[in-house]
Each structure stands twice: as structure tokens, then as C-alpha cells.
């Protein structure tokens, strides 16, 4: 096993560099839109998650972002000022707060996402379905490692 080319240090280093660059590029394409609304990368990530997980709770957002609640709170306050998020208390357990993007928020997300997804979309369009499936598989394994 160990003699496999891609398990050699040089290949691992190369992959790690690519993971970094891939992330950075994927999250920088939409910078102009973020600037337009005077928000940053942290806000983009929260908006992204809110669009994926409608009504997600604060604690689940924290778990996904892996930041402190103080840090998340700063971002949420900015999104409240922008008037793009709404909250609803859980009907059963009222300690839990569910977070949603409102219509304005969804529109801003679409603006961001339109630019951000292009890079991924084009990469996948230029790949076979097997390549895409394998990309996803390995990425999952990296995450769950």
C-alpha cells in the first residue's frame, strides 16, 4: 500500500496545498457582492448554511461553523442590521431559536451563490459523473477522517 504514489509525502503536500487553494478560490469569487453589502467571509458562511438548513438552531450553527457563540453573535447582529434574518422560537422547547433567511436574505444569498457556484459548476460540468462522485467520496472521507 505505502508504495502508492499518492501516499508519498510529496503528493500529500501537493494535495494539502490544493485543498487550501481550492477553498480560498471558492470563497473569494463572490467578494464583490459581499463588499456591496459590507459583509465578509464569516457572513457568507452563515448565509450559506441558513440557505441549506432553513430554521437551523443556534447551537447547530455553532457546531457546523466551529466558532464560539460570541463570534457567531457578531455576525448574526450584522445580519439583523441588514434585515435579512428572522428567528422563531421552537414551539416545544422554547429555549431553542430557529434562524431563517427572509426574502431579502434569500435574494442576497442567490446573488452571492450565483458568483460562487460558477467555479464549482464549471469544474463539474467539465468532469465525468464518475469523477464527480469520486471527488465527493474522497472529500467526505477527508472530513470524517
**Residue ranges binding a copy of itself (CB under 8 A):** 1, 4, 6-7, 9-10, 12-27, 45, 48-49, 51-52, 64, 66, 113, 116-127, 129-143, 145
Contact 51, 101 (CB under 8 A): yes
Report d(CA 109, CA 79) in Å as an integer: 12
Q: Residue 94 binds what, of DNA, a copy of itself, none (CB under 5 to 8 Å, by partner type)? A: DNA
Q: Residue 139 binds what, of a copy of itself, DNA, none (CB under 5 to 8 Å, by partner type)? A: a copy of itself
Query: x/- binding map, residues 10-49, to DNA, per CB under 7 A?
Result: ----------------------------xxxxxx-x----
Considering the complex, state which of residue 81 and residue 140 has its C-beta at the smaller distance from a copy of itself. 140
Give me the least distance between CB of 124 and DNA, in Å please.
26
Considering the complex, state which of residue 20 and residue 87 has its C-beta at the smaller distance from a copy of itself. 20
Contact flag: residue 115 with DNA (CB under 7 A): no
User: Residue from 75, 79, 85, 112 that binds DNA (CB under 7 A)?
Assistant: 75
Q: Write the DSSP assignment of the chain as a string of letters.
A: -TTSGGGSHHHHHHHHHHHHHHHHHHTTTTHHHHHHTT--HHHHHHHHHHHHSTTEEHHHHHHHHT--HHHHHHHHHHHHHTT-EEEEE-SS-TT-EEEEE-HHHHHHHHHHHHHHHHHHHHHHHTS-HHHHHHHHHHHHHHHH-
Amino acid at each position: 500500500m505505502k508504495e502508492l504514489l499518492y501516499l508519498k509525502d510529496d503528493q500529500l503536500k501537493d494535495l494539502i496545498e490544493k485543498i487550501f487553494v481550492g477553498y480560498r478560490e471558492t470563497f473569494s469569487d463572490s467578494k464583490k457582492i459581499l463588499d456591496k453589502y459590507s459583509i465578509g467571509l464569516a457572513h457568507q458562511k452563515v448565509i450559506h448554511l441558513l440557505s441549506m438548513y432553513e430554521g437551523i438552531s443556534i447551537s447547530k450553527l455553532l457546531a457546523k461553523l466551529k466558532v464560539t457563540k460570541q463570534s457567531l453573535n457578531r455576525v448574526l447582529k450584522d445580519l439583523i442590521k441588514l434585515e435579512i434574518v428572522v428567528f422563531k422560537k421552537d414551539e416545544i422547547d422554547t429555549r431553542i431559536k430557529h434562524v431563517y433567511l427572509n426574502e431579502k436574505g434569500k435574494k442576497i444569498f442567490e446573488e452571492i451563490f450565483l458568483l460562487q457556484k460558477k467555479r464549482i459548476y464549471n469544474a463539474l460540468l467539465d468532469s465525468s459523473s464518475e469523477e464527480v462522485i469520486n471527488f465527493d467520496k474522497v472529500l467526505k472521507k477527508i472530513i470524517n477522517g
